[in-house]
Each structure stands twice: as C-alpha cells, then as structure tokens.
Amino acid sequence: MSTGPRVGGVHQPGQPTAPIGPRSPARAWHDAPVTGTLITVAPTGAESDKSDVPALPVTVQELVETAQDCEAAGAAMIHIHVRDGGARPTLDLGYVREALSSVREATDLVIQVSTGGAVTDGAEARVAVLDADPDSASLTCGTVNFGDDVFLNPWDLIERLYLAMRERAVVPEFEIFDLGQLTTLSRLLDKHGAPYGGHVHCDLVMGVPGGMPATAQALVACVAALPEGATWSATGVGRGTLPVMLAALSCGGHLRVGMEDTLTFAPGQPVQSNGQLVRRAAALATTALRPPLTPGEARAMLGIKDRRSADTRG
Ligand code: KMH
Ligand code: ZN
C-alpha cells in the first residue's frame, strides 16, 4: 500500500494511490475539532416558478438584496442558479456573469455557481458557466432520478467538470444525492488528485424524490464514507429540512438552507424569505455552540482563491 503525500485527505496528481475506503475510525467525526458552522444559502434553484412562489429571488436586484440579507443573518457562501428576463432558469453566460459579479460587489460571500442547472440543461452549457469566474462550483457525483425527471451526471461529465474547475482555480463542492455517489467521488480523487485549494468539501442533498432519504441514518452512513479530511454540509429537501439540519449539527457538519430546497417554513407557513431560513439555521448552530463562520473563515477552510477587488476585501 502506498503512503504517498496527501493534501486535505486526498491524493496528489502523479502520486501513487492508496486503496479507496472510508475514513479510519481514529479520524471519525466525533474526534474532529469542533468548528463554527459554514452556512450556505441556496436562494433560487431551477425548479420553482416565480408565479407560484412570489418570494423567490429571480432578478439581479432581488438576488443581491437576498444575498445581503443572508450575509447579515450568518451565511458565508451562496449557491447561485440564475434566471433570465422572463424568470426562467438560464445558463446563459451573460446573465450568469452579471449575477455573480453583482453579488460579489455587494457582499463578501463566497460565490458558488451551480453546474447542475436544470434537468433540461446540456453538458456544454453546464461546463461553460465556469467561465463566469465563480469562487466555487457545485459538482454532482452521479445520475439520480429527480421526481419524474432524470438529473444526468455521467462519469465523463463529472471528470470534465472537475478538470475544468481545477484549470480555472475554482473550488468544487461535491453534491452527493445518494450513498453510491461517494464511491464515485473516491474514484475521481484517486484518478485525478486533489481539487484546487487542496481540500475536499461535500454537500449531502437529502430527500430528493429518487435520491437518499432525509434521515439521520442516511446522513450517518454518508459521513462514514466521506474521504478522509473532507468537510461536509447537509441539506434536507422539504420536510426533511429540520431533521437533516439537526442531524448535521450533531455530527459536526455544516448547513445549506434556502428556497432551492425548502418552500415551507413550518406546516401551513410558506417561507417568507431566504433570510428567514438562514436566521433559523444560524440560531440552531449557535445553540449547538457552533456559531456561523464568517465568509473569511469559510474562504480559509475551503481553500478559496480571493477574487475580490482590493477595495472590497474584508
Ligand atoms: N437543479 C437540479 C437539477 C446543482 O445545483 O449543482 C440540480 C442542482 C444541483 O440543483
Ligand atoms: Zn443547485
């Protein structure tokens, strides 16, 4: 077995690899140092219509106001899906560039673009959004049924996105919709080495109809199968929001919340704003003695390249 050097728990390109496997028990989550909580807000998504959900931020102005509100509430990163002039999901580079640069000018948030897009988006457009100069980008590690649709993520697209991110100094966030996608992540890291920044960060997306359930049991199974040294957040879709949030906090994880995943705050109460969801997450994280990380602390943890102009750096 090789003991080649590791950065952030993954192999370096060109180094011999060790067998793929779960983290050693000695490095289990309960032994890891306690840190603050990275709160990511996913404010819009690609699935809901503005006509059905008036509080959904779809214009650049709404997105910027949402980002500012969520930053003040404790978010450190924003996961962005962009809408066009008709509020339809788009990967058009003009729209994406405008949205990302506007949020970067108005906030200190780590800016993550979605490469998942909508289930109807093709591979070329999903790779091309990386030219909009995000700090980070989502990278889903496998195909998953998505309600009546299929969210297609074949191996060759995963590799292509991964390498394109590294070429552009973009930090991936590996989106995990099912346990087996962690096997694909290990295969990816063993074949291609560490991502830009040298650190692996995953987001467990739980409760999509067709993916893993939004349960503590599924979360614990995923955490045991993460690459050594990885950090992770979790997001529970719909009614899975609170069970997943509480399980993630108790297992040392970070949180993603937002109207991409949750439209109901409590039974009979539609979500009023993304800020409302971030405030609840920040309050629970603080109660757990793991208060929200600042954007600067999130940058350091994730290995983000600083793209902010000198006059906006915090
Ligand atoms: N909208 C979903 C089909 C991502 O952003 O990378 C995919 C998604 C994942 O939301
Ligand atoms: Zn998304």
Residue with CA nearest ligand 1 atom 4? 116
Pocket test for ligand 1, best of 83, 146, 151, 204 (most atoms within 8 A of CB): 151
pLDDT at 31: 58
| Sequence-distant (≥ 6) Cβ neighbours of residue 16 within 8 angstroms | 2, 4
Quick one: which ligand is closest to 174's CA? Answer: 1
Q: How far is the CA of 44 from the centre of ligand 2 (A)?
A: 8
Quick one: which ligand is closest to 175's CA? Answer: 1
- Cα atoms in the Cβ-side hemisphere of radius 13 Å centred on 21: 8
Extract the tokens encoding 171: 């930090």
Q: Kindly give the confidence (pLDDT) of every residue in the chain, 314 residues in length, as a single tens digit, with 9 standing for 90 and above.
A: 332 323 333 334 333 333 334 455 445 545 556 689 999 999 999 999 999 999 999 999 999 999 999 999 999 999 999 999 999 999 999 999 999 999 999 999 999 999 999 999 999 999 999 999 999 999 999 999 999 999 999 999 999 999 999 999 999 999 999 999 999 999 999 999 999 999 999 999 999 999 999 999 999 999 999 999 999 999 999 999 999 999 999 999 999 999 999 999 999 999 999 999 999 999 999 999 999 999 999 999 999 999 987 766 76
Task: Name residue 204's beta-bridge partners.
Answer: 176, 234
Q: Does the reported pTM lie above 0.85? A: yes
Q: How far apart are CA 165 and CA 134, in angstroms?
A: 10
Q: What sections of 74-209 are H helices per DSSP?
A: 93-106, 123-128, 155-167, 180-192
The pairing of strands 269-270 and 264-266 is antiparallel
**Domains by residue range for the chain, with CATH:** 34-302 (3.20.20.70)
DSSP class of 50: T
Cα→Cα distances 156→123, 141, 270, Å:
10, 11, 39
